[in-house]
Structure 1
Amino acid sequence: MAFWNGETKVKKKSEFSNLIINSAQGYYLQYLTALRTKPFMLLAGISGTGKSRIVRKLAQATVTEELQKAEGYKGTDFTNDRWTLHSPANFELIQVKPNWHNSMDVIGYLSNIPSPHYVFTPFIEFIVKAWQHPEVPFFLCLDEMNLAPVEEYFAEFLSAIESRSFEGEEYLTDPIIKPFNSFGEDVAKKMVNTLFPNFTAGDTESAITKVIKHFRTRGLTLPKNLIVIGTVNMDETTFSFSRKVLDRAMSVEMNEVNYDSFLTDTTDDDLKAIVKAFEENDDADLNALLVDRHIEAREIIDDLGDDARFTIDYLKRINALLEGTPFKLGYRATNEALIYLQASQEFGQTDRISALDNFTLMKVLSRVEGDETKLKITDSEADKERIAKAEVNVDEAKQYGDLNILTALRHIITNQLGEQDKLHSVKKIDSMLSQLKRDHFVSFWN
């Protein structure tokens, strides 16, 4: 999908890129790039840093005046009022409960009392609402997502998010609720009436009719404008994430606290600047970037040119190091790395080093967990072979500590991306190495 028009493409994109870069040095641009890559994100950090608030702010940034008016908004200055909306029409907060050990609390269930009918949940009702406004991003925040095992209550979503594809022009995923018609006509009719109480059966040409037909015949699938963000606190009361979950999400850390911005009420200035930059450029649409995302890297690989080859070579070296470990990357990670690089450019960030630095944090380091034995690199022939294939200079890697996966990764990162102090992935590895030395165990989610 093109976001830049005609003969003014180069000039306007350059001007717009500079405006974005100059006005948005905070973390919001990283969040938006990650969501442009994939509509499922884990937002992790210490308690009290405003993780769920960020999701609400993203909804405020993208909600349309028309949609908010349908929810009762009667103000006259929507440009400013949007930032004070407590309940943007495209936002839903669902608090995860510790007793969620199956998907009934997420996707609902079929009940026979007093007669057969389907019990829907706020999660499903919000998805149905998103289906009715396909051009607006809808943000669903799962607060304290890891209070219960994610694989147990979120299995259908985890499966569906990886089934995204296009059938012609139609966006499809596997259903999280099977086709309504499969429940029988009586139950299917009740399901439709519950979700669409104002629907008139005679209105055969409306958009709602098409949605209902989709639900009846294909099931309730994920709409392309649905974005799910789980907030995460890692402490003794929560569950850790399996690599199945991490593989399917973009993981972002939020541990920095800026008291100066907090006291001057400027913590959201970066996001406001980004929105303003988009609004002042007729050839760019923030909502479109967050709705019409790429799914397969082959769609954009030609546009990336040399950056694509650089990215592949970088990931090949990392994967050579991770060969034989549970941390090895699959095709999914490579696909997302290329899409993330393209998304970064579409948000005005032309530096591939910065993009790959952030991607390394989200998708590589987030997988690393274990004690000294699990991370150790030995003198075995197998380990020597993978060190050689990864082109790791052992002496240089040992500058950072005992030879292990983290020190070898640090060598690859600095060798490929540079010795820049600003590399977030290098700072994170140094923190993880300190944790490993202190506790003899390390996790990205420390």
Structure 2
Amino acid sequence: MNVSNGELVLSAALDDVVEVGYFSRSQYHCLQAGLLSKQFLILTGLSGSGKTQLARLLSKWLCSRVNSSLYELLEKAATSDGFLENYDLLCVNNLVVEVINKRGSAKTIIPLPTNVIFEWYHALKNGEIEEGKDPKESRHIIGALSAYQKYIHGFYTEFFKLAVLMVRESEKDEGRDNEKTVSGTYQLVSVGADWTSNENLLGYPDALRESCYRKPDNGVLDLILQAQSNPDLPHFLILDEMNLSHVERYFADFLSAMESGEAISLHDDTGEDWGAEGSLKVPAKLKIPKNLFVIGTVNVDETTYMFSPKVLDRANVIEFRVSEDEMQSFLTNPVKPDLDAIAGQGAQYAKAFVTAAKLKDVPLDAATREAVSKVLMEFFPQLKEAGAEFGYRTAHEICRFIYFHKELSTDWKFEAAMDAAIMQKLLPKLHGSKKKLGPVLAALIRLCLKEGDWLKNDPIKAEDLVAENAVYPQSLEKLARMRKRLQEHGFTSFAEA
């Protein structure tokens, strides 16, 4: 995935991902295309079907292996007088530190990957190398186990210098746990049944201490602030079991801010950011950055709350189910996927991922745009009968999804992309009684079928609702399940069918 001359060029680059576990290439395409077209994605369906694992998979693959507390030490070391007296600092982020040696004549940029710096730091802390020794000798000790040989032997002086300064910074604050491993660019948060306001995500002003702000312990606010500080890197917030509490109570501000681009008010504006535990201070108003992607997982049972149409309309919704064939395939080798094996392997695509997501207008070709328009105008009047018609926002986001789905695919078919879009954006809001939905489901089912004799039947026979007869097989299967539930219970919804 790369950006060149203003044109977006996407590559699937998935071979190292889809082999990790029980995820299909089509699932991963939909996940990426869904997030690129919309910041908010909902994964719903069967409990234990891999929803959270797939969200973590993408996050770990795109995000570099970064320890946030180590990163704080690195920032202090790189901006210290002891380092800046010899080097001009160009940038420091989760991936790389770029410097120019003031004493060098070439004035070339020296790239120092953060992972390599951390290797030197750990070696120094563990006594494998010594501060008083020549770094030229120490590089052989580091290099024996390092995966970054070309950097170590070229820039060992810079790595050693930063490692020494990091150790000194860590010694200044002995009470702090600098070895605690926390993901730098993604956060997995379990939603609690007692979440009744946005304080669980964004914290609150301390009523007892002036100009002090209490951040939530789950790290969500720090993740948002870090995303603002690193606008070129993707940051992922995974909200696990999102519907254990009423989503509208704790997530309404988020939804509104993501859609409108307006800021959320956190505390009184006193002219400066308020202090808080941790290195990042809290501004009076907070905008949700475009490089923050929110993935919510949803299990549907009697202990959870249903999502309102308002929430569903503001997300892409991907459903997870497990077929008999998939279960049989899994049981031949029933092991959990090793997500650490692919951590950081897609970091080279991180900046392009954010650049793509920030595109306001996607260059969807005329033929594809016309095909999308034809399908949507077939579905619109049928959905309108159920009060579930879509607006301009949904139509725009479907066009974006189709574009990114096409760019990510090596063997792209319009029907497959449109099938996914129908499932993710048009069907989730469907719910109602037999009287309300019966005729609507019948009409939608006909739109999902190829031309054939079965279209003459009224109602269409259940045995004809199979993938071989479908233009949009996923959507047809879903509508068939909804129709069956409607016949048996007199009521159905997308989530429960």
Tell me the TM-score normalized by structure 2.
0.65
Aligned with residue 196 of structure 2, among 98, 101, 104: 101
Distance 1:307 1:422, change over 3 A: closer
Structure 1: runs of 5 or more not aligned: 80-84, 164-172, 200-211, 280-284
User: Which residue in the other structure is 1:194 paired with?
Assistant: 276
**Cα displacement string for residues 386-429 of structure 1 (whole angstroms, at most 9, x for unaligned residues):** 9xx99x99x965747379xxx9xx99xx9xxx944772111111
User: Which residue in the other structure is 2:421 paired with?
Assistant: 359
**Cα displacement string for residues 109-163 of structure 1 (whole angstroms, at most 9, x for unaligned residues):** 2232244533222321211122222222111111110011111111111101112
CA–CA separation in structure 1 for the residues paired with 2:280 and 2:248? 35
User: Which residue in the other structure is 2:369 paired with?
Assistant: 308
Question: Is 1:287 aligned to residue 350 of structure 2?
Answer: yes
- Counterpart code for 2:415: I
Shift of 1:25: 2.9
- Counterpart code for 2:193: P
Aligned with residue 492 of structure 2, among 430, 442, 446: 442
- Counterpart code for 1:318: F
CA–CA separation in structure 2 for the residues paired with 1:118 and 1:358? 43
User: Which residue in the other structure is 2:264 paired with?
Assistant: 176
User: Which residue in the other structure is 1:222 paired with?
Assistant: 288
Percent same amino acid among aligned pairs? Answer: 25
Secondary structure at the residue paired with 2:41? strand
Shift of 1:226: 0.7
User: Which residue in the other structure is 1:166 paired with?
Assistant: none
C-alpha contact 1:28 1:270 (8 A) present in aligned 2: no
User: Which residue in the other structure is 1:204 paired with?
Assistant: none
User: Which residue in the other structure is 1:110 paired with?
Assistant: 205
- Counterpart code for 2:329: D
Secondary structure at the residue paired with 1:377? helix
Tell me the TM-score normalized by structure 1.
0.71
CA–CA separation in structure 2 for the residues paired with 1:198 and 1:131? 11
CA–CA separation in structure 1 for the residues paired with 2:65 and 2:292? 19
**Cα displacement string for residues 48-72 of structure 1 (whole angstroms, at most 9, x for unaligned residues):** 2232222222221011256776389
C-alpha contact 2:57 2:339 (8 A) present in aligned 1: no
Shift of 1:36: 1.1
- Counterpart code for 1:123: V
User: Which residue in the other structure is 1:346 paired with?
Assistant: 407
Secondary structure at the residue paired with 2:3? coil
- Counterpart code for 2:349: L
Distance 1:268 1:293, change over 3 A: farther
Aligned with residue 155 of structure 1, among 243, 246, 252: 252
Shift of 1:376: 3.5
Shift of 1:87: 5.0
C-alpha contact 2:187 2:236 (8 A) present in aligned 1: yes
User: Which residue in the other structure is 1:70 paired with?
Assistant: 71
- Counterpart code for 1:177: S
CA–CA separation in structure 2 for the residues paired with 1:270 and 1:347? 22
Distance 1:422 1:243, change over 3 A: closer
User: Which residue in the other structure is 2:30 paired with?
Assistant: 30
C-alpha contact 1:371 1:441 (8 A) present in aligned 2: yes
- Counterpart code for 1:241: F
Shift of 1:33: 1.2
**Cα displacement string for residues 232-285 of structure 1 (whole angstroms, at most 9, x for unaligned residues):** 000000010111100111101112254534754787599989997x78xxxxx6
Question: Is 1:373 aligned to residue 440 of structure 2?
Answer: no
Report the number of matched residues. Answer: 383
CA–CA separation in structure 2 for the residues paired with 1:275 and 1:260? 28
User: Which residue in the other structure is 1:205 paired with?
Assistant: none
CA–CA separation in structure 2 for the residues paired with 1:220 and 1:142? 19
CA–CA separation in structure 2 for the residues paired with 1:28 and 1:275? 17
**Cα displacement string for residues 162-217 of structure 1 (whole angstroms, at most 9, x for unaligned residues):** 12xxxxxxxxx211235x6x4324xx44x2x3276378xxxxxxxxxxxx8xx45x
Q: Supply the RMSD in Å over aligned alpha carbons.
A: 4.4
Distance 1:143 1:2, change over 3 A: closer
CA–CA separation in structure 2 for the residues paired with 1:152 and 1:17? 37
C-alpha contact 1:327 1:367 (8 A) present in aligned 2: yes
User: Which residue in the other structure is 1:401 paired with?
Assistant: 459
Structure 2: runs of 5 or more not aligned: 74-114, 120-144, 149-179
CA–CA separation in structure 2 for the residues paired with 1:267 and 1:174? 41
User: Which residue in the other structure is 2:97 paired with?
Assistant: none
User: Which residue in the other structure is 2:236 paired with?
Assistant: 139
Distance 1:255 1:324, change over 3 A: closer
User: Which residue in the other structure is 2:127 paired with?
Assistant: none
CA–CA separation in structure 2 for the residues paired with 1:366 and 1:3? 33
CA–CA separation in structure 2 for the residues paired with 1:353 and 1:240? 30
Shift of 1:330: 0.7
Secondary structure at the residue paired with 2:376? helix
Q: When you count helix as a share of all residues, which structure comes out higher? A: 1
